[in-house]
Copies of this chain bind each other. A is one copy, B any other.
Amino acid sequence: TSLTNGGLNLHSTVKRKLDGEKDYVFDKRLRYSVRQNESNCRFRDIVVRKEDGFTHILLSSQTSDNNALTPEIMKEVRRALCNASADDSKLLLLSAVGSVFCSGLDYSYLIGRLSNDRRKESTRIAEAIRDFVKAFIQFKKPIVVAINGPALGLGASILPLCDIVWASEKAWFQTPYATIRLTPAGCSSYTFPQILGVALANEMLFCGRKLTAQEACSRGLVSQVFWPTTFSQEVMLRVKEMASCSAVVLEESKCLVRSFLKSGLEDVNEKECQMLKQLWSSSKGLDSLFSYLQDKIYEV
């Protein structure tokens, strides 16, 4: 029971993990074969595969480390969600290439832009987050998400906006917002207390408490945990079976489950992004963020 305020060694841990697992063969091959396919070349930081009955979006960032999110990458995901909502796919599978699912907002990008033009960039980035999160809230077909490794910050916060969350034993989850001097995003201020109970949710949001895949599963954030070696196959097997269901039943079932939450989630999303914008456009909020992040950079 050592002090688990993961915000402190966030980036170094992730980097170490990345190094140790460079040879994650399955996804690398997948990426290769996908990149051959010309219809997928419209995206730079994600890969989109049209499969039989479902669309597969893979986070595969070329412009950030560890699948960190920038406004540009979030826009690509939104575009892919928009395409998938209109085509004949019955559901969406979201996963990641590499050993990290998503490390959340790209902080070096954030520092760079906010130092440049605090007022303009705080609005632009907050709106990018808002629209990204909104795209998940409004997506009508079931979203299955497969978490192969760490999911941090916004990368963890959006999971309750997806419908089924399958995780590899190697996955872990952390949203150290307060530690990084940020307020919650991705509707986590609402969905985390709802799912995990207020006590654990706040420990995650305020103290950066890290959840293992098993903990996240036993507390309701994750549907089921699988062994890393067969993770992709297990997920594919299940997704294909789901995709054999009737499209109407899938969409109407999701509509029933989500209808009571949708408008509430949209409000939360607006409020959270409004708060981030305020924080980033105030010199005090920004100083506190900068001094924290710069300490971390020197530390690493």
Q: A249 touches which one: B182, B203, B254, B272 (CB < 8 A)?
A: B182
Asked whether, in the complex, the Cβ of A195 is within 8 Å of the Cβ of B195, the reply is no
With A200-B220, A223-B200, A252-B275 given, is the CB distance from A189 to B3 under 8 Å? no
Interface residues of A, count at CB 8 A: 70
How many identical subunits does the complex contain?
Answer: 3
Segment with Cβ contacts to B, from A55-63, A74-82, A112-120, A237-245: A237-245
The reply to whether the CB of A196 lies closer than 8 angstroms to some CB of chain B is yes
| CB-CB under 8 A for A3 and B237, given A183-B252, A271-B256 | yes
**A199: which of B5, B164, B184 is its contact (CB, 8 Å)?**
B164
Nearest Cβ distance between residue A179 and chain B, in whole angstroms?
7
The chain B residue with its CB closest to the CB of A190 is B260
What residues of chain B lie closer than 8 Å to A220, measured between beta carbons? 196-200, 219
Q: Does A227 contact B (CB under 8 A)?
A: yes
Other-chain contact of A189, B1, B203, B253, B272 (Cβ < 8 Å): B253
Residues from chain B with a CB closer than 8 A to the CB of A191 are: 198
A residues 262-300 in Cβ contact with B at 8 Å: 264, 268, 271-272, 275, 279, 284-285, 288
Is there contact, CB below 8 Å, between A193 and B257?
yes
B197 touches A164 (CB 8 A): no
Q: Are B249 and A178 in contact (CB under 8 A)?
A: yes
- Asked if A183 and B249 make an inter-chain contact with CB atoms under 8 angstroms apart, the answer reads yes
Query: Hey, which chain B residues are within 8 Å of A268, CB to CB?
Result: 256, 260
Instruction: Spell out A's residues near B (CB within 8 Å).
Output: 1, 3, 5, 142, 159-160, 162-165, 177-179, 181-184, 189-191, 193, 195-203, 205-207, 209, 218-224, 226-227, 230, 234, 237-238, 241-242, 245-246, 248-250, 252-254, 256-257, 259-260, 264, 268, 271-272, 275, 279, 284-285, 288
Beyond A3-B238, A195-B199, 20 additional pairs, beta carbon < 8 A: A1-B227, A1-B234, A3-B237, A142-B206, A159-B199, A160-B199, A164-B199, A164-B202, A164-B203, A164-B206, A181-B249, A183-B256, A197-B220, A199-B220, A205-B253, A206-B245, A246-B288, A249-B279, A256-B275, A259-B271
